[in-house]
A and B are shown apart, each in its own frame.
Chain A
């Protein structure tokens, strides 16, 4: 079977993951890194990875015309993914289905290779349950008195939402990467329903029942009305777009954003996000540089604010950097065995390929049961306004921790 895999824009993590298909001898695989210059050729299956812009339309049409089936693999291709957060600032990152008809979608950031194999074989995907059903935490859905932004790691039995952290598990499918196992609430990368973001927003608004909402006297109606002023509700969620529409902005049913763009698309993805979210975003979209990019962001902030990091933490971080190097080599040589081995090693430390376990000050969950977790446990940190710079990266955050400006050196993603 002829399988052609096309990498479009941005992160190449999903593209790289398809190296694992090479282990299957029945496929005749071709990797195509610059689809614009692809010489048209009939093929059984085309797989699209990376995010898509209107300038890619012609190429996508060509691919469609030559392929029996076209599969969008990973959120970037299925719903715009994390890069589509830039649509808040007017960009036009679009899902594959906006360009061509009859696409097959494999959601996820990272897309799951096992699901991709099912689709290639034209087998029906196993029916996946809601993530909450397979999650060990238990929910009560009591009204919240307050929201929390930074994870504290004591309780591992109560649902994140009940603890005041926003977990998108309610609207997600069970998954392989399982951020929830590494003290990172679900980011919502595998939506189980349409317009998951809007639904989660409604659900969460209700959950915030005990948090005070501002009302005012309405002159005209001579009764009370909802006030426009900022209140505890708005202060609790400084970045609704980034928290609820992280992967689905173009398919959310919301209008295109009209916030002025700050410059390039990648920087627009990060602008407006929260400091505690930065490593989680860079871990998702950094492609084969995601480890170094994420550690760069974390260390830049740590160094400037004197957040102490233990030797053990440094040690694990160095191991990760070495693994990233090794992974890049495996990717270059398209060696599925090596790729598998190294990603497994990365998962052991970073939790998953989204690097959910990485955080400021240390790690979110224990890496090795023989370790003393206290030694490298991440802890809440102070949000300090300022401009942080460290070689390839520079960002400015405001007093509540919202990224106002960011510069990332070319070539990182």
Chain B
């Protein structure tokens, strides 16, 4: 794991809910491993277990954002290792389109992201969480939270 970037308390304060859809395989597996090793991560992270990130699309992402999420991310299996053939890649396609959609509307594309992790390595999940938080911090510094904009 690399060093954490400094995030100002007033920015951190604004992150209340970060919804992370984690697949039941590597995603959730790595979070479990991190838990067993008692690795700490930002308390705003709210994990939602899904069978596969391929189940998550624009509707679920918008539902999360409309119901108070500050950011949404998916964590799936590593590329080529999806337990349902290509759910992680398909989800990336859709999240990429969501990112572009946000840009077209004049918003940061950092409110939605997608990651992968390895079940045996808790630090991959925790690293993903840190990256989510840092990216959200950049977006908040630049233009405030998603909620502010709506």
Contacts and interface: CB of A to CB of B under 8 A. Distances in A.
Nearest to A203: B57
Given A195-B62, A215-B92, A221 B100 contact: no
Contacts of B1: 220, 222
A88 interface: yes
B62 A253 contact: yes
Contact of A206 (B66, B93, B104): B93
Contact of B59 (A199, A204, A240, A244): A199
Contact of B150 (A211, A228, A255): A255
A218 interface: yes
Given A218-B115, A221-B116, A225-B116, A205 B90 contact: yes
B57 A205 contact: yes
B100 A234 contact: yes
A231 interface: yes
Given A206-B90, A209-B90, A258 B107 contact: yes
A211 B90 CA distance: 10
A239 B104 contact: yes
Contacts of A256: 105, 149-150
Interface string B93-130: 11111111100111101000111111001011101101
B89 interface: yes
B128 A218 contact: yes
B79 interface: yes
B102 to A, nearest CB: 9
A222 B127 contact: yes
B115 A223 contact: yes
Contacts of B107: 255, 258
Interface residues of A, number: 41
B21 to A, nearest CB: 13
Contacts of B66: 253
Given A221-B115, A223-B117, A88 B104 contact: yes
A254 interface: yes
B105 A257 contact: yes
Of B1, B92, B95, the most chain A CB neighbours within 10 A belong to B92
Contact of B99 (A218, A220, A228): A228
Of A202, A228, A233, A241, the most chain B CB neighbours within 10 A belong to A202
Nearest to B1: A220
A245 to B, nearest CB: 9
Which secondary structure characterizes the binding site on chain A? loop
B38 to A, nearest CB: 19
Contact of B104 (A209, A215, A241): A241
A96 B38 CA distance: 53
A213 B89 contact: yes
A231 B96 contact: yes
B2 A219 contact: yes
Given A205-B90, A219-B2, A220-B2, A198 B124 contact: no
A223 B29 CA distance: 15
Nearest to A87: B105
A257 B106 CA distance: 6
A222 B97 contact: no
B97 A240 contact: yes
Contacts of B105: 88, 241, 254-259
B89 A209 contact: yes
Interface string A179-212: 0000000000000000100110110111011010
B16 interface: no
Interface string B121-150: 101110110110010000000000010011
| In the A-B complex, the 8 residue pairs with the closest CB atoms | A258-B106, A205-B94, A202-B57, A220-B127, A221-B127, A226-B114, A255-B150, A221-B128
Interface of A: 88, 195, 198-199, 201-202, 204-206, 208-209, 211, 213-215, 218-226, 228, 231, 233-234, 237, 239-241, 244, 253-259, 272
30 contacts: A198-B62, A199-B58, A202-B59, A202-B94, A205-B57, A205-B96, A205-B97, A206-B57, A206-B93, A206-B94, A211-B93, A220-B130, A221-B117, A221-B128, A222-B123, A222-B127, A223-B116, A224-B79, A225-B131, A226-B115, A231-B96, A233-B97, A234-B96, A237-B97, A240-B97, A255-B150, A257-B106, A258-B149, A259-B104, A259-B106
Given A213-B92, A258-B106, 16 more contacts: A198-B58, A201-B94, A202-B94, A214-B96, A218-B115, A220-B2, A221-B127, A221-B128, A222-B121, A223-B116, A225-B113, A226-B92, A226-B115, A234-B97, A240-B97, A255-B107
